[in-house]
Amino acid sequence: MAYRKTPAEIRRLDTARERLVARATEVVAEVGWAQTSVTAVADAAGIAAGSVYQHFPSKAALAVEVFRRAAGREVEVLGEVLHGPGDPLERLARGVRVFARRALDNRGLAYALLAAPAEPAVGAERLAFRRRYRALFAEVVREGVATGRLPAQNDEITAAALTGAIGEVLVDPLGTPADDGTDDLLADLTALALRCAGAPTP
């Protein structure tokens, strides 16, 4: 008869896995993908390196999980803002601002998610998540066009442009320590996003 885990064992394993992902995310935020070793993560979690492999078959699999969790939270937050109250342009502006603010508040992790060289498995996740951002932006641009707040346009192209533009604008600021320029950056980036979507200049 095959060995079956008891509910208590499953709970214990799940808790340990969650803890491991949380610690790994902190390590990635602090030192980046390249410097994040299984040993460093195990040390941070207070377990043996071998125990990491009980939960993830490889460093790449752990990296993918870290990416999915952290990027997934950002997609979720952006989606909530873009689907929230307000007219489409207000929501677009607020979405860009919230996304950028969150990234700038957690620069190490945001840089890892958006830009830092990483193994191919993480690169593939990045492409997949950019698709989700594009879908969210396309929706709000379509609404803007439908309600006459934005001029007719190819919403898929605008959505891709917003996704690429926001990421690239943040690369340098995320790679540098926090400074006084954040408010200006947020204002400039929001203005840029509205301009790209063809919003009338205020």
Among residues 16, 31, 75, 161, the one that binds its own copies under rule CB under 8 A = 161
Cα–Cα separations (whole angstroms), residue 143 to 80, 88, 95? 15, 6, 15
Residue 45 or 96 with smaller CB distance to its own copies: 96
Among residues 81, 136, 162, 174, the one that binds its own copies under rule CB under 8 A = 162
Residue 75 or 115 with smaller CB distance to its own copies: 115
Contact 55, 22 (CB under 8 A): no
Among residues 124, 146, 147, 178, the one that binds its own copies under rule CB under 8 A = 124
119 closest CA partner among 12, 32, 43: 32
Q: Answer yes or no whether residue 123 interacts with its own copies by CB under 8 A.
A: yes
* Segment interacting with its own copies, rule: CB under 8 A, options 7-15, 50-58, 99-107, 113-121: 113-121
Among residues 116, 139, 142, 182, the one that binds its own copies under rule CB under 8 A = 116
Angle subtended at Cα 50 by Cα 46 and Cα 54, rounded to the nearest 5 degrees? 95
Cα–Cα separations (whole angstroms), residue 162 to 38, 52, 54, 116, 169? 35, 38, 40, 19, 10
Q: How far is Cα 21 from Cα 88, in angstroms, rounded to an integer? A: 36
Binding to its own copies (CB under 8 A) within 92-111 occurs at none
Contact 25, 109 (CB under 8 A): yes
Q: How far is Cα 149 from Cα 95, in angstroms, rounded to an integer? A: 17
Give residues with Cβ within 8 angstroms of 121, minimum separation 6.
Answer: 60, 61, 63, 64
Other Cβ atoms within 10 Å of 186 Cβ, number: 16
Among residues 16, 40, 77, 121, the one that binds its own copies under rule CB under 8 A = 121
Among residues 11, 83, 168, 178, the one that binds its own copies under rule CB under 8 A = 168
Residue 38 or 160 with smaller CB distance to its own copies: 160
Binding to its own copies (CB under 8 A) within 129-158 occurs at 130, 134, 151, 153-154, 157-158
| Contacts with its own copies, residue ranges (CB under 8 A) | 33-34, 115-124, 126-127, 130, 134, 151, 153-154, 157-158, 160-169, 171-172, 184-185, 188-189, 191-192, 195-196, 198, 201
